[in-house]
Amino acid sequence: MHKKYIVRLTDEEREYLNGPVTKGKTVAYKIRHANILLKADADGSGRSDERIAEAFPAHKKTIAGIRQRFAEEGSETAPVRKKQSVPSRKPIPDGEGEACLIALRCSGPPQGYSRWTLRLPADKAAEPEIADPISHETVRQALKKTG
The verdict on residue 15 lying in a domain is yes
The verdict on residue 4 lying in a domain is no
Domain shared by 19 and 64, yes or no: yes
The verdict on residue 128 lying in a domain is yes
Strand-pair partners of 65: none
The verdict on residue 33 lying in a domain is yes
The verdict on residue 119 lying in a domain is yes
Q: To the nearest whole number, what is the mean pLDDT of the chain?
A: 82
The verdict on residue 82 lying in a domain is no
Domain shared by 142 and 103, yes or no: yes
Instruction: Kindly report the pTM of this predicted structure.
Output: 0.57
Q: Look at residue 7 and give its three-state secondary structure.
A: strand
Q: pLDDT (tens digit, 9 = 90+) per residue, 43-66?
A: 777 788 888 888 888 888 888 888
What's the CA gap between 84 and 82, in Å, rounded? 7
What's the CA gap between 58 and 40, in Å, rounded? 13
What's the CA gap between 92 and 132, in Å, rounded? 9
Residue 134, number of CB atoms within 10 A of its CB? 19
What domain range includes position 142? 95-146
The verdict on residue 140 lying in a domain is yes
3-state secondary structure 22-80: HHCCCCHHHHHHHHHHHHHECCCCCCCHHHHHHHCCCCHHHHHHHHHHHHHHCCCCCCC
Q: pLDDT (tens digit, 9 = 90+) per residue, 134-144?
A: 888 888 888 88
How many structural domains does the chain have? Answer: 2
